[in-house]
Structure 1
């Protein structure tokens, strides 16, 4: 299954989300990330994708892995992916809009899960509480969540 990264920047009581402008997940709030290139580590891919999608620079050492979630799309198995979730609290630069994403700082208390992937409401709040999340989410052909199983443990 394809391995991908997903990064969220956190500052004080805010989270940086991106509105996906095109492609898979267009119109939804999400973190920043994507798939590694040939010999690229997940961490290197996370940092590169962050730079490409919103202009932020960060060090791999600033990544805090908060989860690993497998997403399944039975009608489109080519979309199946294991998402490695990272939080970042230290970076340089200011977020900027790109062809792919429009970044927005959102107050944590105002997170609008209705504008995110359905499964996010089942794992993101727990990760934001400092728990490591691991599990799976299964989506229907119309991209609605039909099954999920998320477990938590102490973050490393």
Structure 2
């Protein structure tokens, strides 16, 4: 069982991202999510974390697979990845400052820019797959010296 969940909430051509004010990924834009509690399913965790971090109550999320990683051969981690789509008319004015960081809608083109150092580095590898279809995928990343040296998508 993986320890974390992450959710990308889409409205029109924007994704709601969190600029984290704590590690990991301090100062970077990422989806919302968090750590599974004891005896909690990943689905329940992601719905709880979205509500806690954004105040948004989602009725459904789409499971998109797993994102796992190895860092410098010392640490292994992973999370269950989800997408949620809200109506184009969904009102959620940003930016919003929270205890976790700043929430803001970010345009997909900006998020996926190849040299965008403001977002978590692996997002540009897996987010396009999550947006493209309903296939469940496993993305595995290998990091050396804080850089991605390999990404395997199955």
Shift of 1:110: 2.2
Alignment pair present for 1:109 and 2:109: yes
Residue of structure 2 aligned with 1:64, choices 62, 65, 80: 62
Q: Number of aligned pairs?
A: 146
Q: Which residue of 2 aligns with 1:119?
A: 122
Shift of 1:75: 5.2
Q: Which residue of 2 aligns with 1:42?
A: 42
Does the 8 A contact of 1:54 with 1:102 survive in 2?
Answer: no
Residue of structure 1 aligned with 2:146, choices 143, 148, 151: 143
User: Following the alignment from structure 2 to structure 1, what is the Cα–Cα distance between the partners of residues 126 and 49?
Assistant: 22
Q: Which residue of 2 aligns with 1:85?
A: 81
Q: Which residue of 1 aligns with 2:17?
A: 17
User: Following the alignment from structure 1 to structure 2, what is the Cα–Cα distance between the partners of residues 64 and 106?
Assistant: 20
SS at match of 1:57: coil
* TM-score, with length taken from structure 1: 0.82
Distance 1:2 1:126, change over 3 A: closer
* TM-score, with length taken from structure 2: 0.82
Shift of 1:128: 1.6
Structure 1's unaligned 5+ residue stretches are: 152-156
Shift of 1:76: 4.2
Q: Which residue of 2 aligns with 1:33?
A: 33
